[in-house]
Chains A and B, each alone.
Chain A
Amino acid sequence: MPRLETLEMTIETGKRGLDRAPAYAINGHQLDFNEISGGNGSRETMRLVGSPQSFPHSLTLTGPDDGFWDIEKIEASFHVSDGGPYTVRLGAVTLDRETCLNLWYDRPPQLLDV
């Protein structure tokens, strides 16, 4: 399991935005992002940078405290200890006060045309 040094994310919000700064949790330990730019309102895009500096058994994006948060798209880049950064792209999902979104994905396998 690699050490996750930095997590960079771009989140495109859908119809319903988030009414507070987003947070994430690593191994159940909730953290704030170190950098936030852009907007998290309806149809806005924000860029987030977190520095968990830890080994992620679980990594999740925390849902809203009330109501719903529609996410259209997420692009998450992982800067890990065992090689160069890699990026995963996630599609639409809605979070609420009972849910959090899995963010941890291992490095995608190498694909070749053979």
Chain B
Amino acid sequence: MPTWFAKQVDENKFAADPAEGPADTEQSVPGAATHRQRRVIHAPLLASAPAVPAGSGIRIKAQLGSLEKQVVLMIDRPVLTGYSFWCASPADAANWSPLALALFDSGGVASVLIHENNITVTHQDTGQESDDAMARRFGQLVRVHLESGLPTMAECFLATMPSEEQVKEALQGAIDDEINPGIAAHSGEITLTAVKGNTAYIKMGGGCQGCAASSVTLRQGVEQSFRTAVPQLGALLDETDHAAGRNPFFTVLPAGMGT
């Protein structure tokens, strides 16, 4: 145990001597003992690059994901409004979305999410194409599709769409029966905050808020349960402020570290 941590525990406060420094490999325990608990607030994040002047053509920016093989295409106009669409197979894309099918047909695509101005393409890691090249290929394909006047979604897309109430009821059932009992062991809880069209908004509370594994819980737990409960579910958006709160990472000292 680093000397600064022992001192902190002994004196029931954090050391203020910078020469001692914080831990390098051990996680600090903000809630265990502190100089004064303050509420963490956020300042507006300013854009670091000037906006591109408007032009007549379709402008698309691609954001490359750092944690998973994902490209988010941000288009300067709405692509799908009121609803969202997600699919993970060319067969589903063929049924519902000519635009998603075009992306699948271009190769290397694992899933497509279309929501308002954004198209999120999760791709397979073939190692044969750089992320930049893949993003440019997807962007060009979307631009050509939109400029050609082809529809984003098939006409039958809304025909089998459940109502917001039905979506809400089914998702709440998944939360109550499957998700929250499963994450209760970690003191976590999921709250369904809103359903708009077929887009769901959730908040992660308790032990999930600020947890380093919350994104895994969201993708591999919550999202899979939700999509089983509502196959037509589009985007699933996490509204949790994971950095907020006085003590988002720990609520108690880990076992054996309090004495």
Contact = CB atoms under 8 A, between A and B. Distances in A.
A34 B18 contact: yes
Nearest to A31: B18
B66 interface: yes
A86 to B, nearest CB: 9
B28 A27 contact: yes
Contacts of B249: 57-58
A3 to B, nearest CB: 7
Contacts of A113: 52, 59-62
Main secondary structure of the interface of B (DSSP, over half): loop
Contact of B21 (A54, A74, A102, A112): A54
Interface stretch (B39-47, B87-95, B193-201, B217-225): B39-47
A80 to B, nearest CB: 13
Contacts of B34: 28
Contact of A27 (B22, B59, B63): B22
Contacts of A112: 61-62, 64, 132, 135-136, 139
Interface string B56-74: 0001111111100000010
A100 interface: yes
A1 B24 CA distance: 12
Contact of B24 (A29, A31, A53, A87): A53
A76 to B, nearest CB: 10
B52 A102 contact: no
Given A74-B43, A101-B42, A111-B61, A53 B48 contact: no
Contact of B38 (A26, A62, A107): A62
Interface in B108-162: 132, 135-136, 138-140
Interface in A79-102: 87-93, 95, 97-102
B48 A99 contact: no
B30 interface: yes
B15 interface: yes
Nearest to B241: A102
B243 A102 contact: yes
Contacts of B61: 111-114
Nearest to B137: A114
A93 B41 contact: yes
B248 interface: yes
Contact of B41 (A31, A34, A99): A99
Interface in A2-49: 3, 26-32, 34
B33 to A, nearest CB: 9
A87 B18 CA distance: 24
A88 B47 CA distance: 8
Contact of A89 (B25, B45, B52): B45
A40 B63 CA distance: 37
A110 B63 contact: yes
6 contacts: A28-B28, A29-B4, A52-B22, A58-B40, A109-B65, A114-B140
